[in-house]
Amino acid sequence: MELIHQFSSGLFIIQSVIFLALLFLLGKFAWKPILKSINDRETSIVDALNQAKLARKEMETLKEDNERIIREAKIERDAILKEAREIKDRIVGEAKDAAKNEGDKIIEAAKQTIQTEKNAAMADIKTQIGVLSVNIAESILKQKLDNNEAQNELVQNYLNKSNLN
């Protein structure tokens, strides 16, 4: 069978109408949704890229804020530690001063107690020496004044001395 191709204007018109109808139907029902979905996809990709850029910038900002907060926290920590050291030094100094003052008071009280005890001991020694001297003198006088003549002589000596003074 031999196919002869002849141009038929009726067939051409029908095929053209079918082609145009197909193009119209594809344009109305297929191309618009396909193009719309492609545009939507492109828009969502661009939005996703923009959001990624914004997220990256926000992350950088957060990172800078975190670093700044860490620096400030370190500075504040150092200040707190310095203040704590100063307070500790002040408290230790005050405690040392209080201990020194208390020690000085105790030493002064001990000195006064020692002086009082010393004075009491000296008074006691003087009393004992006085009693002992009187006892010694009494013993000596008893031995020397066993007779009346020695007693009269002693009285005369005392009277002569008291008249001279």
**Segment 101-150, tens digit of pLDDT:** 999 999 999 999 999 999 998 988 888 888 877 777 777 777 666 677 77
Mean confidence (pLDDT) of the chain:
86
pLDDT of residue 25: 86
Entry pTM: 0.41
Please determine, for residue 99, whether its predicted confidence score (pLDDT) is greater than 70: yes
CA angle at residue 37 from 34 to 41, to 5 degrees? 140
pLDDT of residue 92: 93
- For residue 7, which of 15, 55, 119, 30 has the smallest C-alpha distance? 15
| Stretch 152-164: mean pLDDT | 71
SS3 18: helix
**Domain spans, the chain:** 35-120
| Stretch 65-92: mean pLDDT | 95
The first and second tokens of residue 42, run together, are 């492109």
Dist CA 5 CA 132 (whole Å): 175
pLDDT of residue 5: 61
| Stretch 47-73: mean pLDDT | 95
Name the burial class of residue 145, with classes exposed (0-12), middle (13-18) and buried (19+) by CB atoms within 10 angstroms of its CB. Answer: middle
pLDDT confidence bin for 1, thresholds 50/70/90: very low
Distance of CA 53 to the CA centre of its chain: 43
Q: What is the dihedral of CA 45, 49, 55, 56, to 10 degrees?
A: 150
Contact in structure between 159 and 153 (CB atoms under 8 Å): no
Each residue of 24-40: pLDDT tens digit? 888 888 887 888 889 99
pLDDT of residue 49: 94
pLDDT confidence bin for 19, thresholds 50/70/90: very high
